[in-house]
Homo-oligomer: A and B are copies of this chain.
Amino acid sequence: MHFSSKLIEDAVHEISKLPGIGKKTALRLVLHLLKEEKESTENLATALVKLRTQIKYCKACYNISDDDLCAICTSHRRDASTICVVENTPDLMAIENTAQYNGVYHVLGGIISPIDGIGPSDLKIAELIDRVKGSEEVKEIILALSPTMEGDTTAFYITKKLKEFDLKISTIARGVPVGGELEYADEITLGRSIITRTEYPQD
Q: In the bound complex, what is the Cα–Cα distance between A98 and B107 (angstroms)?
A: 50
User: Who on chain B is nearest to A38 by CB?
Assistant: B52
User: Who on chain B is nearest to A89 by CB?
Assistant: B31
Interface centre among A32, A40, A52 (most CB of B within 10 A): A52
Q: Is the CB of B96 within 8 A of A66?
A: no
| CB-CB contacts below 8 Å: A46-76 with B | 46-55, 63-66, 70-72
Stretch of A18-26, A116-124, A128-136, A172-180 with 4 or more beta carbons under 8 angstroms from chain B: A18-26
Interface residues of chain A: helix, strand, loop or mixed (majority): helix
Q: Is the CB of A42 within 8 A of B34?
A: no
Q: In the bound complex, what is the Cα–Cα distance between A169 and B48 (angstroms)?
A: 48
Stretch of A3-11, A148-156, A160-168 with 4 or more beta carbons under 8 angstroms from chain B: A3-11
Q: Is the CB of A4 within 8 A of B70?
A: yes
Residues of A in contact with B, size category: 35 or more
Residues of B within 8 A of A44 (CB): 14-15, 17-18, 45, 48
Q: Is the CB of A51 within 8 A of B18?
A: no
Q: Evaluate whether A65 and B4 lie within 8 angstroms (CB atoms) in the complex, with A47-B10, A51-B34, A51-B41 already known.
A: yes
Interface flag for A111 (CB, 8 Å):
no
Residues of B within 8 A of A72 (CB): 4
Q: Evaluate whether A52 and B66 lie within 8 angstroms (CB atoms) in the complex, with A2-B97, A14-B43, A96-B2 already known.
A: no
User: Who on chain B is nearest to A88 by CB?
Assistant: B31
Q: In the bound complex, what is the Cα–Cα distance between A2 and B72 (angstroms)?
A: 11
Distance (whole angstroms) from the CB of A83 to the closest CB of chain B: 16
Q: Is the CB of A49 within 8 A of B45?
A: yes
User: Who on chain B is nearest to A97 by CB?
Assistant: B2
